[in-house]
C-alpha cells in the first residue's frame, strides 16, 4: 500500500485494516477511507471507462461533483467513490460505460 505514514505537521492516525474486493482482487483498506482513497493507496488509478470512447477516468474533483470516479459498488452502478466510505467485504468493479443502464433507457 502507498500511504503517507509520517507528516511533519499533521498526526497520522491508524485505523482498523479491512478488506475489499476490486475486480476480483482482495485488497486491504483502512476503516474510514473513501473507496477512492483505498484504491489510490493500492495503486489503482482507473475507476471507470467512458461509454462512447472507452477512455479511462479516475479521481478528478475529489468532492463528489464531477462523476469521473463512479464505479459499481455491491452491484449498484454510478457510485461516487470519492465520497463513499469503504466497508469490510465491499465488492467494487471498474465501471464500463453507463454501468448497466441501457442506451434505450436514457
Task: List residues near ligand FES by CB under 6 A.
Answer: 59-62, 64-69, 80, 82
For 84-105, give the DSSP string.
SB--TT-EEE-EETTTT--GGG
Q: How far is the CB of 100 from ligand FES (least distance, A)?
A: 19
Nearer of residues 17 and 87 to ligand FES, judged by Cβ: 87
CB of 39 to ligand FES, least distance (A): 11
Can you read off the three cell numbers belonging to residue 98? 453507463
Which of 48, 36, 39 lies closest to 2 in space, CA to CA?
A: 39
CB of 67 to ligand FES, least distance (A): 5
Amino acid at each position: 500500500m502507498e500511504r503517507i505514514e509520517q507528516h511533519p505537521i499533521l498526526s497520522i492516525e491508524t485505523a482498523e485494516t479491512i478488506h475489499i474486493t476490486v475486480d476480483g482482487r482482495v485488497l486491504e483498506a483502512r476503516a474510514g477511507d473513501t473507496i477512492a482513497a483505498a484504491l489510490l493507496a493500492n495503486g489503482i488509478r482507473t475507476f471507470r471507462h467512458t461509454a462512447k470512447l472507452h477512455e479511462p477516468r479516475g479521481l478528478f474533483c475529489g468532492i463528489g461533483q464531477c462523476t469521473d470516479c463512479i464505479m459499481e459498488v455491491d452491484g449498484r452502478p454510478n457510485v461516487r467513490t470519492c465520497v463513499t466510505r469503504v466497508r469490510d467485504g465491499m465488492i467494487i468493479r471498474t465501471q464500463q460505460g453507463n454501468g448497466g443502464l441501457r442506451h434505450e433507457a436514457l
